[in-house]
Amino acid sequence: MLFLQGGATQQFSMIPITLLRNTGREAEYLQTGYWGKKAIVEAEKEGKVKTLWSGQADGYKRLPDDAELSFSEQAAYLHYASNETVEGLQFHRVLGPDSVPRVCDMSSDFLSRPVDADRFSIIYAHAQKNIGPAGVTVVLIKKSLLDSAQEQPNLPSFLDYRNHVATHSNYNTPPVFAIYVTLLVTRWIKDVVGGLENMENINHRKAELLYQAIDDSQGFYQGWSRKEDRSYMNATFNLTTPELEQRFLQEAAQAGFSGLDGHRSLGGVRASLYNGLTVPAVEQLLDFMSTFERKHR
């Protein structure tokens, strides 16, 4: 486990630099949303990338079904994002064949639920969603993967995972405050919440309350994502007109709710439900939504 700087963005490059560059092989990526696409753009700079599936034509409203995915056993690795924060899409299963290194961007759901980490060759997650303040990115990487990685004499030293492994994340001065808060959060999850199963249960409860309210509104609130791909981390929805959405966001802000604006690339409303958000906070939002609906239906 490494604590690195540079966010998920830096991992978008370090992964293909390490596992794809100069190999002549092909990496398989899933273009499931805003972040999945960003990862592809950086990987294509380093080698051959096959976009195994893209939700772009559908406006990223759903994730692929198993029947739509045909994985190659020869791929250098498979990369996907477990949760798309912008669109509010989340995989509720592990993808791909076990014979291919499985690389997963868990930036927005790491430590929000139990994960069978052994099935992944690389898991990476920036801290600033569920685990700590911005500035540190957790990278879990199988050492065997690095043993077989090519030597690249001219690679900048800080882009070589092995330098960070050899120095126990002290290759350069690490972001100690962010790492310390991450320690406190993991203790909180373990000792106060009672573990990742409980964390997941709480996160599910929050999301289910909100999605239920959306579904019960008979079209006043309209969920963005296909139901089976809905994210437990980011609930995205629209109102019937852009004007009503603006009014909703304005009144919500006046009522003390912050951060409900959808991502600039998508618009609409996005309620993020990360570990730090409480069930009562969701209930307050539901009260507001209910009042707003009565007033404006």
- Interacting residues with a copy of itself (CB under 8 A): 5-10, 12-13, 17, 41-42, 45-46, 126, 128, 133-136, 153-159, 171-178
Catalogue the long-range contacts made by 197-202 (C-beta closer than 8 Å, 24 or more residues apart). Answer: 197/114, 199/111, 199/112, 199/113, 199/275, 200/112, 200/113, 200/114, 200/232, 202/279
9 is in an annotated binding site: yes
Q: Tell me whether residue 224 is one of the annotated catalytic residues.
A: no
105 is in an annotated binding site: yes
Q: Is-contact 37 31, C-beta < 8 A?
A: yes
Nearest to 257 by CA among 293, 223, 284, 294: 284
To a copy of itself, the closest distance from the beta carbon of 252 in angstroms equals 23
CB closer to a copy of itself out of 8 and 235: 8
Nearest to 7 by CA among 202, 197, 137: 137
CB closer to a copy of itself out of 38 and 247: 38
To a copy of itself, the closest distance from the beta carbon of 96 in angstroms equals 25
Q: Where are the alpha helices (DSSP H) in the chain?
A: 7-19, 34-43, 143-147, 161-166, 176-187, 196-216, 242-254, 279-296
Distances (CA, A) of 209 to 199, 216, 282, 283: 16, 10, 8, 8
Of 37, 105, 160, 206, the active-site residue reads 105
278 is in an annotated binding site: no
Q: Tell me whether residue 216 is one of the annotated catalytic residues.
A: no
CB closer to a copy of itself out of 178 and 202: 178
Of 37, 53, 109, 129, the active-site residue reads 129
85 is in an annotated binding site: yes
Q: Tell me whether residue 129 is one of the annotated catalytic residues.
A: yes
To a copy of itself, the closest distance from the beta carbon of 113 in angstroms equals 22
Q: Is-contact 127 133, C-beta < 8 A?
A: yes
CB closer to a copy of itself out of 20 and 213: 20
To a copy of itself, the closest distance from the beta carbon of 44 in angstroms equals 9
Q: Is-contact 143 165, C-beta < 8 A?
A: yes
Annotated binding site: 8-9, 35, 85, 105, 128, 172-173
Annotated binding site for pyridoxal 5'-phosphate: 8-9, 35, 85, 105, 128, 172-173
Residues catalogued as catalytic? 35, 105, 129
